[in-house]
Chain A
């Protein structure tokens, strides 16, 4: 157990809908990263937050957004969902925004039908 929690574990929804994925980092970690793992593209970095502020942005679609709250938990919002958004979404955390080790949560499996 890495200490990073993600909810829900599974999510099934229809195209065009909006969902919110939640992540709580390890105790003491200030930085949160979101990754998408799909069958055809492997693991892709989406976005990073550090102590409430966006630090880095990767291949995140405009339909997706994220934020980190004062209690350091983070939410990833996915809207206007498409079939291709079906994937495993991971959250990882690290002590600081520059720490080279990232610890991963169990992931949220999103299925868009």
Chain B
């Protein structure tokens, strides 16, 4: 079974600085998707960025980028020019590329709480 591990329960960063959140996963599959979701105090789960395993190029969305290391099964999120509004819980999630049965579900890490200091 696939697992997702986020080893940093809490992180903090100064406003305008850069922070990297770590995520590792375990799978025997070769094709899958990885996601970072943000959950602010409002509790809304917001998709931040996604990565297809078959793509070697790291995904980027504005100030958010990932470092995807397939062989190491690592998927870290870098937030540049951190803003107060980035303060939230960040979850890493895995989805198999197989479309049968429970493969469609998202498998989640336990999250990293990010504080942004002014």
Contacts and interface: CB of A to CB of B under 8 A. Distances in A.
A11 B65 CA distance: 37
Interface bin, chain A: 20 to 34
Contacts, number: 59
Dominant SS among interface residues on chain B: mixed
Contacts of B99: 97-98
Nearest to B109: A42
A35 B91 CA distance: 14
Nearest to A41: B110
A88 B43 contact: yes
Interface centre among B33, B45, B95, B97 (most CB of A within 10 A): B45
- Which applies to chain A's interface (DSSP): helix, strand, loop or mixed? strand
Contacts of A26: none
Contacts of B101: 55-56
B44 A45 contact: no
A43 B93 CA distance: 10
B105 A90 contact: no
A100 B97 contact: yes
Contact of A100 (B33, B42, B46, B91): B33
Interface of A: 2, 33, 35, 42-45, 48, 55-58, 88, 90, 92, 97-98, 100-104, 106-107, 109
14 contacts: A2-B46, A33-B106, A42-B108, A42-B111, A48-B105, A56-B104, A56-B105, A58-B102, A58-B105, A88-B43, A97-B99, A100-B50, A102-B47, A106-B43
The 10 tightest CB contacts between A and B, nearest first, are A104-B45, A45-B105, A98-B99, A43-B108, A100-B33, A42-B110, A56-B102, A107-B43, A106-B44, A100-B95
